[in-house]
Structure 1
Amino acid sequence: MDVLVLRPERAATRTADGLAKLGHRAVLAPVLTIEDLESPIPAGRFDAVLATSANGLRKLARRPEMAALGSLPLIAVGDRTAAAGHEAGFTVVHVADGDGRALVAEARARFAPGARFLHAAGADRAFDVAGALARDGFATEVVELYAATPATTLPLSAAAGLRAGSIGAALHHSRRIAETFIALADQAGLGAEARALPHLALAQRVAGALLDAGCPRVVVAPRPDEPSLFEALAALVHDGSHSGGGRSK
């Protein structure tokens, strides 16, 4: 099956490798581009670093402050982010269960109120980690290290696949990816073809954007990670139902 992969290019390549192992062909059509932000890292002592994306850690690894931060514990949102943390130089890495809420729970469990965290983040965030932790007496300094800039036109690979009817499903790793894809498809006059696809969403929030846009065939991964997204794809292929309305995680 040809599967539309819409995430930024570096991550899309990894997804394509995973799809190939399952016998699918990835149609790479990134609708977002990752750009560095030169936000300053606040001074002072931190008790741990929090990371909700691998991109944030890759950007942090290039900063001179990383020499001191690497000795701190890292709490990563999931396995992929944890791997990026090890690559960046963190030696103590704790792994949460896949989303911002799980990361907050992990931080609460490991530190007492009053602890100060550095959140290595992007400009666009699905969940307010700092706000959630503040309610329990934690201080979190958010440093925006990158921004995801939307494409201005639908990638040619996506447009060609939609016109030919050759795409069997689309993967959505974030709500912003889903919203951007639908907007660009509408702009290209391919909105009906885009909505008619089976869509696989990483989380219920991502699926919500697709359902709100009128996509009738949306499946939600049982857990917010890529292996679960692939499980959802396998189930879709196996049962052939492509039934709409979404499936809660």
Structure 2
Amino acid sequence: MPVLVLRPERAARRTVEGLAALGLEAIVSPVLAIETLDTPIPPGPYDAVLATSANGLRKLNGRPEIRELSRAPLMAVGDRTAEAGREAGFANVEVADGDGRSLAAAVVARFGTPGRFLHAAGADRAFDLQAALRPHGHKVEVVDLYRAAPASTLTPEAEEALRRGAVIAVLHHSRRIAETFLSLSGDAGLAEAVRTAPHAALALRVAEPLLAAGCADVAVAERPDEPALFDALARLIGTRSQSGGERSK
């Protein structure tokens, strides 16, 4: 039985590769698509560039300002975002522990006096980095470089697999993904199938819409990164196997 992957296409490919390494098949049904925004970037200088997603840095990499901006330090929310920053030309990269709060804490620890920062962001943000740093005297210029537009439907393959109960688990990498999936599956008449399916969520905040919708079998990653999400998935698969369900091969 396959795992249902809901991420935007580029990120979904990496997830599928990771699942394949674990011997798991996948059905990909992106519920969000990444769209570029041409938001102006206020001129520097900046004490550092802050990044809460790899998508923000990929969009920044396509802008003419990247040559100057990449001379500043980059403070990235996690390893995947840091990797995108190095690809964009940043040489001085510091990596936080995977979420916005840890990134804010890293900025406060590194900059003891008020600084000016550029936040390479998306239009939909789970954490207000600007507000978190304001009490410390830091000024954050937030630039929305992309937005995640919702899909109109799930793919036919995903709908059919959910309808037949032929999905071993659904992966949720963000709260917006979980919320959009619940909406699309409800529109398709699959609300009950979704409630009975197992789900693995990147964090408790991601799991909350699933729990509110009545999904009983939800595993939450212990850290906000994909290896921990895969660990949560493994717990789901193990539980189903022990209770008589099938294990994906």
Does TM, normalized by the shorter one, top 0.5? yes
Letter in 1 for 2:18: G
1:162 is paired with a residue of what secondary structure? Answer: helix
Q: Give per-residue Cα distances to partners, 1:46-93, cap 9 Å, x unaligned.
A: 000000000000000010000001111000000000000100110010
Aligned twin of 2:181: 181
Aligned twin of 1:89: 89
Aligned twin of 2:151: 151
Contact map agreement 1:49 1:73 (CA 8 A) in 2: yes
**Which runs of structure 1 show a deviation greater than 2 angstroms over 4 or more consecutive aligned residues?**
238-243
Aligned twin of 1:247: none
Q: Give per-residue Cα distances to partners, 1:193-214, cap 9 Å, x unaligned.
A: 0121111000110011111121
Counterpart Cα distance in 2 of 1:74 and 1:242: 45
Between 1:95-104 and 1:209-218, the stretch displaced more is 209-218
Counterpart Cα distance in 1 of 2:16 and 2:230: 11
Between 1:153-162 and 1:97-106, the stretch displaced more is 153-162
Counterpart Cα distance in 2 of 1:215 and 1:130: 34
Counterpart Cα distance in 2 of 1:105 and 1:4: 34
Aligned twin of 2:228: 228
Q: Give per-residue Cα distances to partners, 1:147-193, cap 9 Å, x unaligned.
A: 00001122222101112221010000000000000110110111110
Q: Which runs of 5+ in 2 are unaligned?
A: 244-249
Counterpart Cα distance in 2 of 1:198 and 1:166: 11
Contact map agreement 1:70 1:89 (CA 8 A) in 2: yes
Counterpart Cα distance in 2 of 1:52 and 1:134: 17
Counterpart Cα distance in 2 of 1:237 and 1:26: 14
For residue 241 of structure 1, report the CA deviation from its aligned partner.
7.6
Contact map agreement 1:217 1:242 (CA 8 A) in 2: no
Letter in 2 for 1:230: F
Task: Please give the residue correspondences for 1:11-90 in structure 2 after superposition, counting only pairs within 5 Å.
Answer: 11-90=11-90
Distance 1:192 1:239, change over 3 A: closer
Q: TM-score, normalised by structure 1?
A: 0.95
1:219 is paired with a residue of what secondary structure? Answer: strand
2:126 is paired with a residue of what secondary structure? Answer: coil
Aligned twin of 2:246: none
Contact map agreement 2:168 2:237 (CA 8 A) in 1: no
Letter in 1 for 2:191: G
Counterpart Cα distance in 2 of 1:209 and 1:28: 21
Letter in 2 for 1:31: V
Counterpart Cα distance in 2 of 1:30 and 1:43: 35
Contact map agreement 2:200 2:236 (CA 8 A) in 1: no
Letter in 2 for 1:86: R
Q: Which runs of 5+ in 1 are unaligned?
A: 244-249
Contact map agreement 1:236 1:242 (CA 8 A) in 2: no
Counterpart Cα distance in 2 of 1:204 and 1:180: 17
Aligned twin of 2:120: 120
Count of aligned positions: 243
Q: TM-score, normalised by structure 2?
A: 0.95
Between 1:232-241 and 1:156-165, the stretch displaced more is 232-241
Counterpart Cα distance in 2 of 1:122 and 1:55: 8
Task: Please give the residue correspondences for 1:131-150 in structure 2 after superposition, counting only pairs within 5 Å.
Answer: 131-150=131-150
Contact map agreement 2:165 2:197 (CA 8 A) in 1: no
Counterpart Cα distance in 2 of 1:210 and 1:163: 18
Contact map agreement 2:39 2:145 (CA 8 A) in 1: yes
Identity among equivalent pairs (%): 62
1:89 is paired with a residue of what secondary structure? Answer: coil
Letter in 2 for 1:208: E
Aligned Cα RMSD in Å? 1.3
Aligned twin of 2:209: 209
